[in-house]
Each structure stands twice: as C-alpha cells, then as structure tokens.
Structure 1
Amino acid sequence: MDVEISAPLVGVDYTGTYAFGNDWFAKADVRYAYGSAKYTGSGTQSNIPYSYYDLRGLFGYDFHFSELGGFVLAPFTGIGYRYLFDNQTGPTSSGANAYQRSSTYVYLPIGITHRMKVNEAHKLETVFEYDYLIQGTQVSHLSQAASYLPDITNQQFRGYGLRFSSMYQFSEWSVGPYVTYWNIQNSNTVTNPISVNGVNYRLTAYEPANNTIEAGIKVAYSF
C-alpha cells in the first residue's frame, strides 16, 4: 500500500557564521518548520500537525578566484541532526486507527557554496549539498492504533539527501528558491510477541523505503 503525506510548511531558519580570518570558517544552522498535513493511504485524514527541526554544525574553507571574474568556492562538511514528528491520531476515512510517528536522522553533510558579485551592491550565493545518512531511527506508536500492539523502533542505515539553494542578495535582504530531497531505504526488521484474545502471535515490522521532497522560497535578512 502506497502512503503519501503532503503538507504546506512555514519555516524559520537561523544561520551563524564565524570567520577565522585565514579563510577558514565555522557555521551553525538551525531550522524549524511546521504545517498541517494530509495523509493518504489506509483511507485519508487531514489537518495533521506535522513539524521538524534540523540542527547542523559545519566548517569549511573559502577559495578565492579573483583572476576568473571574482568568485568564491567554499567546500564544507560537518554533522547534522534532523527530527521529524508526525502527530497523526484518531481514525482515517476508512476507519483505520492512526498513530504518531517520529523520524530521527544523523547525517554527514558534504557540500560546496559558490558566491559571486552581480554588481557592486548585489551578490548571488548558490549551494549544492549531499547528505550521507549515518543512522536513522523510526519510532511508530502502534499502541495508539490497537492496545495489543507494541510501539516499534526501527533503525535505518542506508539513505542520502540532496540540497540546492540559490539566494540573490541585495543590501541586507536576500531571496531565492531551495529544494531538499531525502531517499531512505528499508529499515531493519524487528519482531515482537503479541497476544490477541489470549492467542499468542509474533509481529514482524520494518519501515519501508521512503522519499521526501521539500521545495520553497526563502527570504533572509543578514545582520
């Protein structure tokens, strides 16, 4: 059964950068996004509270290419932590009971930033990034769907993310599009004993492969 969750999101980002003076830099990124999701799978359900936050610590180096028109290439890496919470509860349109789910990713970002002057007042900054999944943890609160079911925790070790953004800066303000994509493969399989009406069973569960696409427009202010 295919499952789809879609949601318009409103997010807030904060980025702090420290330049060491010798072209090395360190950066901290924090992002929080929230929206109201629609579930389509075993029936449908709307107005589901849906949120995530993404914390990243990065470091990199600025390579200046003044002889080639004056631009900067800044490769970077670091560590990232992403937590997503799907607060789905109650019955869907088919009568199936929904349950809350959370996803945690620890990942290794590897990327490069291209910065260039458009003119004396305006700049363009473009970022390409690959995110290597170190470990994912999926928690499914199945006990909310049926009292005889246990909550399940699955581990995910195969997957990756891709990010692209391009910001046009004028004065302290900048604006531009961004796209984030995640591709996560099947998790491990866990088995738990359950009892239904006095009969014992063994429940085997895994988190299936999934894809996530987020696209939008960012507006930023630098201070």
Structure 2
Amino acid sequence: MNHAIFEKNSLILLIGTLIVVSIGGIVEIAPLFMIQSTIEKVEGMRPYSPLELAGRDIYVREGCYNCHSQMIRSLRDEIERYGHYSLAAESMYDHPFQWGSKRTGPDLARVGGKYSNDWHVEHMRSPRAVVSASIMPGYPFLAQTPLKAEHIEEQMRTLRIVGVPYTDEQIENAQADLLAQVSPEAPGGAEMQKRYPNAVFADSPSKAGVTEEDALVAYLQHLGVSVDFKLYDDKANIR
C-alpha cells in the first residue's frame, strides 16, 4: 500500500487518524450501552458492617492508602505473593475505592484472616515488634481513642443513595450491630452475623468501650474474605 499520500499531507493524515480512532472508540464503547453493569456479580459480597465501615473511615483518615494498595494484578508474581487477583466486584461498595497507587508496604487486598486480631493490635501499636524491618509509624493512640460513630446510620443511608444495598433493618440496627461486633460475648452477636456474614469480632483486649483500634482491626479482617476464590481461581492455567 502506498503511504505517500498520508506522509506528505498532514491534513489527510489527521483525518485518517480521527477515522481510525473513531471506529476503535465505537467498537469499545457501544457495547457498554447494551449491558446493565460492567461489574461481574460475585457471590458472597456484602456491604461493610457498621464497625467495618467506621474502621474504613479511619483507614482513609490516616492515609493508609498512601503506602498500601488494595489491588492485586493478574501477574504471576503478585498472585503467588498476595493471592487471587482482585475482582472488580470487591470494590463495588467502596466510595472511594482504596486501590492505591504505590506500595511502601504490602498489598492488603487479602489481609483479612491472614493474621490474628492480637497481631493487628500489636502491629498498630508497635510495628517493629512484629515486623522487624517495618518502616510503618505506630498508631498507639487508636487504642486510647473512643470510636465516634453516632452518625453511622446517616452514613449508611447516604451510601444507599449511591448504590450500596443497606436494608432498613441494617440501618435501624447499626448502633447495636457496631457494639455487638466488638466482642463475641456482646449481646446481639448472632443477629449481627446474620446481617453481615463472615463478620469478624474485634475482640478488643481493652474494656474501655469501642475504640478506633477495634474498628480498624475489624475493617482489615474483612478485606478479601467475602469471596470463595476457588470458584474463580485460574492459577492452574497460568504459565
């Protein structure tokens, strides 16, 4: 094919480029208008419990996303280190999402259930006591800071407006569920777990009420535990 006409005439080259880009754009964008959602429905995903939601706010407030990502790419080394690659549905209830942009510390997308509550507590208070090479600052003040969650119901109602499927029952029982998740001995724990399957009790070692540390531990323990990845695991096909 003779390309001289495009090489010698910038205007024709520009028009040709626009035509090619337009065709490519139509092919990629047009199908999106014919489907309801680009997010695959994944069994097991649920909204955050009130305590987890409060912990997520603390995670954002303290800027944890600046050093930790929550996005495992579909590369072999990442899958072998962190676990199954991230699914879009795992961030469907995050406003905003916490994918992060760098990793000073490890990815946290699968940190839930990897360590005990006591490990997280010690790590928050004195990181180098459990990870000698850690450069993470300590957050001991979280254990002495009472959790302020008097507006958690309003927050859940707001999130429902943008698509998080909180039910009236979940919103009405928000304060009770928050208190119930602090300890297995707390009243209402069974009802809380029915509303929020796989919710991990914070099991706070302190008896001074619910603290910000309790909320943050509950949030971290929820990351990556909702989905049965055996249904989506294709690591055996990676070469």
TM-score, length basis structure 1? 0.20
**Rg larger for:** 2
More helix by share: 2
Q: RCO (CA 8 Å, sep 6+): is it higher in 1 or 2? A: 2
Report which of the two has the higher share of strand. Answer: 1
**Structure 2 length as normaliser, TM-score?**
0.19
